[in-house]
Each structure stands twice: as C-alpha cells, then as structure tokens.
Structure 1
C-alpha cells in the first residue's frame, strides 16, 4: 500500500498567527475592517469608491474635506489592500498599545491623516502645479516608520554599512526611495510627506494635538469604555507610556531594536 507523501511544513505557525490576531487592540481591528469594507465596496461597478475617497488636490474643498481622512482606507485592488494591511497592522498595534485606544483614534482621525495630506496637497498644487491623486494606508506605514526611526536614533544613532556610519533616522527615506524604484505607480511624494510628519511626531512637535490624559480618563470613566468595549486599551493600560520608551543614558552600550520594516506597503498613485 502506498502512503501519501507528507505535506511540507507551513512557513508560519497558524496557531501563533491566530493568537496574534486575537490579541489585536480595538482601533487596529477597526482600521483593518474598514480597509476590508472599502475593498469589498470597490467590487461593485455602480459607484467608484476610489474616485469618491481618493486624495485629489483639485477636488479638495469645503464639501470634500472628508478625502483627507478617507484616502488611507481606500486601495486600488486586493493585493494593494493586502500588502498595506500587512505592513500597517504590526506598526499600528504597537502604537495603540503604547498610546491607548482613544489617543490613537484622535490622532489618526485627526493630525496623522490631515497633516501629511495637507502637506501633499500644498506641494502638488503650489510647487508642482500637478493634480496627482493618491490612495492607500502606506501613508500611515511610512509615518509610523518615521516616528520609530526618530526613537531608534535617540538610543542608537548610527548603523554601520561597510566603512560608513549612517544615521538610523534615514532608514525610512532609504525604504521610500527603494520602494519607488522597485514598484511602479507609487507616490514618492506621498510617502515623503508621511515620513516628515512622522519625524515631527517622533521629535515631540505634535504633542499639542494629543488629548490631555485627564480628559481621556473622564471620557473613559463616564462611558465605561474599558468595561463595554473588548480589546480596548485605556489611558492607564498603555505599555510604555504615552510617548514610548525614553532612551536611557545609564548604559550607552545598550542598543535598541531597529525600526520594524518587515513589510512595506505603497500609497497608490493615480492618474498622470
């Protein structure tokens, strides 16, 4: 009797993947679900989701300001959405764990979406006199990479490449350039704007946009969010405090982990 050949082992452990997904915090789950929902909406042909929600410089007005918030959720196809979701999830999950759910919502619905979008529109319209539209959550991927690079630079200023010492804060810029070279139809300018805003956040210049903890505690207590919402992270549950782990000067030889860059998504560039 011939026995069937053994199946090759999977390149990942399904139980660990399931355990990781089960532990994802609330806002991260919502972002991934909204990305999925918009991709499903793109399957119908009666209404163009991309045309409705893309960041199009010439289409921005008082009645279309929603585009500043919708463009990170919209993608131009399944693989575009999948790769961006894979890139964003671990970065956003870490951010929410360190800052709390309410703070994450306030920042990503507010300045961490509108600032890179506004900077992109300003450069496109005023300097380049162009109208290239963009969509894709990699604007948040590169923003978070920029913030992580600044934090890494504070504890580990350089990494060695042969005889050269390269500042660690430049790693997202290298990734931005490489991605633009290897992948067609991505927005180099959109990624660059996101990195610059990430740098500002990592340096602490955007702390003014962070809601006060006293207000957040009042909202959480008044609405009993921790008791009502599963996977919610309260102000007092944050892993490392609001602005992450501060670099220690007591042990200069200690090197922090590098910026997580296992996946890189792309902000899809549309039009000419």
Structure 2
C-alpha cells in the first residue's frame, strides 16, 4: 500500500493565494510603490528632494504635485516593506467596506488634508515669535506612513473597541492608540517625520468626526464613475469592489458618525461630534432586547401620534404600489383591491380596518384589528404588509404570521 503523504502548498502558491485575497486598489498601491522603489534602486535615483513633501517649496513655488508624489516614494527597502505590510490589512478592510473607487477618493482626500495640516503647523512653528522652528519649513518627507496613520485612526473608530494592543505588549485606550504608536515609532526609529505622522492622525480624527463630510460625494457619483468606459477593464476584475450603495452618505460608518448625514459639518453635527470626545458621566439606560426570532426594528406600543403618521405613510405607499401595479400591466385581484379600498376608506372614516363584513360592530372590530396589527408590528414586520396579510387571512393572527414569514423568505 502507498504510504499516506501529506503535501503542503509551496511558498509561491501561498503567496499567490495571499495576493489574490487583497482587493484591487490596495494591491495596486502596493504594486506601484514597490515598482517605484525598485526602479529608483536600479537606475540609482536618489534625488528625493524633487518629489518629497517640502512645505517651503509648496508655499513659495506652489509645487502642489509634491503632495501626491511624496506618498509613492520611499527611502529604503525596510521603509517600503513596513509601510506596505501595514497597508495590506488596513486598506483591505476599508476597501471591502467602502469600495475601490471610494477608497481611492478617501486616500486622495487624506493626502490633501495631511498636506494642509502639515503646511499650517509648519508655518505657525516657523513664524512663532517666542521660539521659531525654521527647519520644519525645509523638512523633506516621503512615504505612505502619513496615510497609514490616518487609516489607523479610522479603523480604530470603526471597530468601536475600547482598548487596543500595542505590538501585543500592553493595552492602551482606543482614543490614544495612534498617539502611542506615534511615540513608539519616534523612539525606536531614526529619521522619522514626527509632523508628517501627527498630521496623519489629525486628518484621521477629522474624517472620523465628520469634518470632511461636506467634501464627500454621494453614492451615485461613485456608481457613475464605476460605470464609465474608462474603468470598464478594472471593474471586470474579480478583485475590484464596487460601491454597493449601502452607505449613502459617502463615508465609512463609525461609532460616532454612523447616523450623521453627509452635510453634518454644516448642519451642526460638529459640536455633537466634538462633545462626544469629552468625558461624561455614565447613565444606565434600559434598551429593549431584540429577539432574533423576530427580525427588524420594533415600535413602542401606545405611541398614537407616531402610529398615525406611520399609518398615513403606509396608506400612501400602498396606494402608490397599487397604482404602479395597475399601470405596469400586472393587475391585482379583486380581493386585494377591495382590501386596500377598505383600509383606505376605514382610515378616512377614523378607524384602521373595517370589520362590518364579519358581523362585528365597527368600533370593536377596529380595536381588535388594531391590537393584532400592533402585535405583528412589534414583531418587526412592516405595517402595510401586516394590514394586507391580516385582510388576506380574514383576521386570523396565525395565518397572517405565516403569510408574512413566507413573504420574507
């Protein structure tokens, strides 16, 4: 008999599988930065003063291209290796959430904001009347690490963790995680741009707390870019991640900006986001526990005003769907139309559902139907679907539940 042989995938196979799991934009950035470094190494190019980020050249000569060329060039093999190894997990996670086109725009936005913060701080430090720091204006910085520090802040806010581990040695509060990394890198490595990394952290916090929301386009803009003929070859690639439209506000959801709109900076959300950073006294609030058997968001029983508004909205939505079905060539049966007409007429008369057909007084039948509707709505079902299902089930609660569950499945 042949012995049992355990074979393992070779190193090239594992590297190929690892590379295929990296999304399109992240792998493209890694490839471009690696190729640029090795080309510079082969041709002996070391004049980084022409492409680095220099505040004095940007201010005096208006060489804006340095904002974007500086993030693609690296000074040594360890420099590009460490930066790209850090980019792969951070960029992959953000790209899977945001999409490839949206992440590209966010990277450009972060690079621009990093440069603005860098120039402003350098100008303030250089023209400080107490103690000026002229060398900050002549600093020449290159590398992708400024963007990485912004991504670290955004990813930390996205995770919602209360603490993070620094190299597996000790835990620090999540809010100070990026600052601790900044201090550690500054102590362990030489020739590191403190101001460049600090500006990356500031840009990350500005993005997280909604200061850039007014600069972020909606989902339709990203979708239009993805459907253009220029990106047709890229979109067809399996690693390309399309913006699905789940985040209509155009920015990555975080624990502090999850429910804010894209115009939060202009609509007063700035103060609310900044106030969330201040220490506050903990207040215990009882929140309803959601049962996994009944998906959806429950509604509080007894909120008459909210239910009346929801009833009017569901009534208009039901009538709109009925009109659309009639106009599209798919006529509804007479029972459904009759049910919808009964619901509409009943609401106009001051009750939710008419029950005169079963021989019950109108007021008592309306109360009984309201109780059934409230029970089903509290289970997470849509009110309009609940009303139609109850009408189709002749008021039988169990049959209505079966109808609603079959519609969701």
**TM-score, length of structure 1 as denominator length:** 0.74
What secondary structure is seen at the aligned counterpart in 2 of 1:74? coil
Q: Aligned partners of 2:24, 2:156: CA distance in 1, in Å?
A: 25
Contact 1:73 1:136 in 2 (8 A): yes
State the 4+ residue runs in structure 1 displaced beyond 6 angstroms: 247-251
Contact 1:28 1:96 in 2 (8 A): yes
Q: Aligned partners of 2:194, 2:179: CA distance in 1, in Å?
A: 10
Which residue in 1 is equivalent to 2:85?
86
User: Which of 115, 124, 127 does residue 126 from structure 1 map onto?
Assistant: 124
What secondary structure is seen at the aligned counterpart in 2 of 1:60? helix
Which has the larger displacement, 167-176 or 62-71? 62-71
User: Which of 225, 229, 243 does residue 252 from structure 2 map onto?
Assistant: 243
Please tell me whether residue 137 in structure 1 is matched to residue 153 in structure 2.
Answer: no
Deviations 1:40-68 (A, max 9, x none): 23225565452221001111156521110
Please tell me whether residue 231 in structure 1 is matched to residue 236 in structure 2.
Answer: no
Contact 2:51 2:70 in 1 (8 A): yes
* 1:99-178 equivalent positions in 2, closer than 5 A: 99-109=98-108, 111-127=109-125, 128-130=133-135, 131-152=138-159, 155-158=160-163, 167-178=173-184
Which residue in 2 is equivalent to 1:70?
69
Aligned-residue offset at 1:28:
0.8
Report the structure number with the largest CA radius of gyration.
Answer: 2
Please tell me whether residue 183 in structure 1 is matched to residue 192 in structure 2.
Answer: no
User: Which of 34, 55, 58 does residue 56 from structure 2 map onto?
Assistant: 58
User: Which of 25, 28, 32 does residue 27 from structure 1 map onto?
Assistant: 25
**TM-score, length of structure 2 as denominator length:** 0.51
Aligned-residue offset at 1:230:
4.1
What secondary structure is seen at the aligned counterpart in 1 of 2:244? helix
Which residue in 2 is equivalent to 1:209?
215
Contact 1:72 1:135 in 2 (8 A): yes
Provide structure 2 residue ranges, at least 5 long, that are not aligned to the other structure.
1-7, 126-132, 166-170, 259-286, 290-409
- Describe the shift of the 1:31–1:18 C-alpha distance in structure 2 as closer, same or farther (beyond 3 A): same
Q: Aligned partners of 1:125, 1:36: CA distance in 2, in Å?
A: 33
Deviations 1:228-270 (A, max 9, x none): 344211111879x95246589878xxxxxxxxxxxxxxxxxxx
Q: Quick one: higher RCO (CA 8 Å, sep 6+), 1 or 2? A: 1
Contact 1:42 1:49 in 2 (8 A): no
- Describe the shift of the 1:19–1:157 C-alpha distance in structure 2 as closer, same or farther (beyond 3 A): same
Give the number of equivalent residue pairs: 237
Which has the larger displacement, 92-101 or 127-136? 127-136
- Describe the shift of the 1:46–1:158 C-alpha distance in structure 2 as closer, same or farther (beyond 3 A): closer
Aligned-residue offset at 1:36:
1.1
Query: Once superposed, what is the RMSD of the aligned Cα atoms?
Result: 3.4
Contact 1:54 1:67 in 2 (8 A): yes
Which residue in 1 is equivalent to 2:96?
97
Aligned-residue offset at 1:115:
0.8
Q: Aligned partners of 2:102, 2:174: CA distance in 1, in Å?
A: 27
- Describe the shift of the 1:41–1:51 C-alpha distance in structure 2 as closer, same or farther (beyond 3 A): farther
Aligned-residue offset at 1:173:
0.4
- Describe the shift of the 1:227–1:129 C-alpha distance in structure 2 as closer, same or farther (beyond 3 A): closer
Aligned-residue offset at 1:214:
1.0
